[in-house]
């Protein structure tokens, strides 16, 4: 009997799940609406501040 016959069969690790997402996705989910709100606010606010 060879030493290779004594090895246990390989067991694959469980697949990586879809949920929960990585922290970077949570950060992106927070930053995109804030960026949109900031751009909307700037677009609304800047035209009213014209030099006199």
Tens of pLDDT, residues 13-41: 999 898 999 999 999 999 999 999 999 99
CA 42 to chain centre: 26
In DSSP notation, 1-52 reads --GGGGSPPP-PPPPPPSSSPPHHHHHHHHHHHHHHHHHHHHHHHGGG----
Residue 38 is assigned to a structural domain of this protein:
yes
Residue 1 is assigned to a structural domain of this protein:
no
Contacts (Cβ under 8 Å, ≥6 apart) of 52: none
Bigger pLDDT: 17 vs 45? 17
Query: How many separate domains does the chain show?
Result: 1
Report whether pLDDT(11) > 90.
yes
Residue 41 is assigned to a structural domain of this protein:
yes
Q: What is the pTM of this model?
A: 0.57
Q: Which domain holds residue 32?
A: 23-47
Residue 37 is assigned to a structural domain of this protein:
yes
């Amino acid at each position: 009997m060879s030493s290779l016959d004594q090895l246990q069969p390989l067991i694959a690790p469980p697949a990586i799940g879809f949920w929960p997402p990585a922290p970077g996705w949570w950060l992106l989910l927070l930053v995109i609406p804030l960026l949109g709100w900031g751009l909307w606010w700037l677009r609304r606010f800047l035209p009213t501040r014209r030099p006199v």
